[in-house]
Structure 1
Amino acid sequence: MENQKTGFIPLYRSVLKQPWSKDVFLRTLWDNLLLNAARQPYTASFKGRQWPLQTGQLVTTSADLGLNLCDRNGEPASRHAVDRMLSFFEKEGMISTAGERRKGTVITITNYALYAQKIDNLPAHKAEHNGEHYPEHNKPSNGAGLEGDAAHNPAQIAALKPAHHEQQGNNNNKNIKRSSSENSGESSDTRLKKFLSAHPEAAIYTPNAAKWGNSEDLRCAEWLFSVVQSIAPSARKPNYAAWANDVRLMRERDLRTHREIAQLFQWACSDSFWKGNVLCPATLREKWLQLDIKRSKMRTGESVIRPKIDFNNTDWIEGVFDENLR
């Protein structure tokens, strides 16, 4: 009831089907952006300036957003980490940004109206069971994952059955599109066309489009294999679609840059231990934390070389015995 007094937004279940939703920080940041965006135009006072905001906009900084993204120890997320998350949302078409990162950034939620429709005279628990939290026909959310439009009145709700809209919500989800089309007997050519329509940036992909990457992902994958060839000239050419897919996953889900991927892979292939164990981007992603920790230790000189012991030298015995015991 308190939420209804201060305003609320619907959260659509289809967000759970988005790969990035498993990242707690991404999910929380997205929820915070939705909850703090302006419901109607107004002028905000922020850092000594007046900011005219439109519906679906908020003004903030990465540092301020990080203060609301804390780990279990209460440590807030860094400004750089928030910047990477915001960049991810921009690439997904979920937001757009304008302004200076530190002095104030205006963030605009794409299709915010789909998330903030007010449901008059309808309790929250009743709304959930009557299906208005499912998307309106043919209105996907540009990859945001929280697609949909709330129904506006009980008459609309009665006319739209929940089961039908659950299926419609699933169909609007990019990941579910493939499986639902396969179940309907859709041809592989049609599925491929739909995939390419949804991912025009795809430069390489497997026949079923389960694995893919853009041109930069592919370029990075080819460079990684050149590093492998430098230490193993007889290495067989890999499945570049799979390699590019792993690079893409590191970029999109783990928020790594292509430069960071290349640098850590090159270091691993030059390390005396790891160079025989990290020979593909999938392993790099799996072992990223261990690799990064060891590389950091070596950079700071934390790994100290133990001194050699001369067992024939008896100088250490001096001072061991008390003079009175001789």
Structure 2
Amino acid sequence: MKGWIKLYRELLDKPIWHESTPEQKTILITLLMMVNHKGKEWEWKGEIYKCEPGQIVTSLPKIVEKCGKGVTIQNVRTALKRFESFGFLTDESTNRNRLITIVKWGVYQGEDEEETDEPTGNQQATNRQLTANKNVRSKECNKKNNSRKQVYDETSIHFQLAIFFYQKILANNPEHKEPNLQRWADDIRKMIELDNRTEEQIKYLMTWVQEDSFEMANVLSPSKLRKRFDQLVIKVKAQKKKVVPINKGRYIPKDSDFDMTAGEDWR
């Protein structure tokens, strides 16, 4: 692959850059270099498809290969969802491959015309068309920005707790269907930010419900855990007279962890 791309310095001031992880930044630049500079015919969904400039038919492993060492398929999957929420690209996938389109490719990567003192008729028409395209794309982008959902990085505490809970469920039922971990992470964020639960409290109850013979079949998502949080704490307190073995590596809550009944041992 030959040629070059334009990389605008104002990217440094955009949330898509300064809020991204190093792996996501690598993926972003790699995608800009991977997409087609000119139109190209490609097979897509069993039919001959002409990829426009700024598009490419590829796969997650191929993107990982192009990014190089340190980038995983999960990194790419998370980055694509995040970039799509920012209106940077669209991602249409099948079981075998995916069509990625850089939304503003024509605006930022269009060919430069040779500068003259006065624009020609063709240049004037082109400039008018670009202005119209920019306005349309700006409206589309604003709609996406207003409705976009938060995407959680796999290294965030919210996503990590979602994985932790899923692994606890799998220990009881290896056939349990893989959930939407992004949705789970968002429910966990609400518990922390809106309900003022701590990471330790959430993690302890996730473990407890999957060790309880009754609750392990009833609390199978963070949303359910959030809804029944106070009820579950009461059940934990009801068992406080039982001897709780201290297993290595398992968090044993302190009195101060739950402030629902000050000074009372809640275990």
Structure 1 length normalisation: TM-score?
A: 0.38
Query: Looking at CA atoms only, which structure, 1 or 2, has the larger radius of gyration?
Result: 1
